[in-house]
Chain A
């Protein structure tokens, strides 16, 4: 792996290096959104490997190791990968992932063979440069363009990004339709298969345009990670793309910043930064995130325990035929423990119970709440007896679960179906709210 070279730092070099990385990351992030949404993330990985023989062939024909002939060669191989994968699946009755694995490793091996042949070995091209890239030296390798000394990579990656943006904007509706519902696309007269091949050709082109500059490790990461991160955080395709692009840019900036202080692979660090943002998104995502799940689950657990507490107090009052303060230590097991303490706290703060030391008692509001829970419980027992033919001692457990989830509308539906029952199967009065 090539480490940061000991060239003196200049703002201009930093700017060019970052520009190259950002151009690559933006193109990858945009196309990656389609790969992630079509569950083709690994096809990006496959293509990034199988374009190697295309690069080698284009080099043998043109004797140049960069520029548009190489990109064209790669696009052809990208199409070939897609085509071969489907053909192998159909002809050989091989599962799609297996055929993808076979095709891309075979083509990659073919590429390695071509790269190692006599003619190619004598020039400065080798497989490891394709894997890791040479982003650290990208600002050194310059050409003159419009009187400016710009990195050579900029002249392929710049147009490539513009081409990608044009591709996405021009075919916005077609790509969206073919990704979401390929059958409908075909039924409407859009060639979903053709759109798929076009997308794969673009992925191959972007991949190879980025190879020399950043290497395939960063390319594969940038195709998948920003898009997957954005998918967690957004629910519209255009916002997904905006967020994916931002993740790509932030990865480039942070990766670069860190390698100014820690000497390591720049491309690798950028990929790690993307992974870090993904990990953050997994935790913080508003809907599917780990944190919001924990929060939801905790709130539910406290609510269930609070309702259990109220229902327990209500049943005790029922037995004693008058309001009685009860010791918390006698409460059912579910109201004990840390979550139980939280439940008592929340019941008190909502004015559902009054507490004196260890003794608690229902307030008027608490009694109303308790009636709803107990009513749901006993209605459910009656419903189960009527419809599921369960023995009497099997009714309490399921009702204990369901009492927390039955609202007024369903209560009404059940009472209507059972003909306004007065008592539950155990003979207890079903209270009215």
Chain B
């Protein structure tokens, strides 16, 4: 400010001071109030988080789960074809896909998924690096089918701006194609690459665990078509179901557990190289 203070300057300064003071004090008290209102005792906190961690409440209705047994997958691609036919998935996009992992003696891992595995797998992929030994043959390999994980703490529903992405009571994550604006934020937010923007519908889309089939007592198309029993689907809140038995008798893993999305799709035999 240049020159001597004028009455205007004085009143303006007073005005700004008042604004700052009222703003500052209300913010301070407001935040104190909010924090105390949200304050919970340690015992309550522990109970609440235990409840949140429990994904099922036995007897409270159907809750679906999915297990992928990577030790059984033969990479035939039946699941990919069945899903595409069942759900009209557009070419170039996948609701489910199969990855081929090939390990070479020097430690290199090559991952491959030609067309998502839709036409099966013919050959192991060539190593990326220059082979140090001529005709380097792979030493280990397996297939990993992937699909939407239908997470408990979905990052996709979290970011949808219009409420087009939601979860049913059974834990299935779906998209409302009449509300979706096609911003593709959910596609970016999914850590697993399960989502895509349908080029015909111009909305987000993804695996629905064949909701239209499972609510009629059928299995998802990928589960029904798998000849190797690598995919298992069922009601995890029913202790007598096949899937509950498998979950109770196997060590299961999830993808990217460190991100905290708590996927409902579990894997048996997941290698550390599977990201």
User: Are A and B interaction partners?
Assistant: no
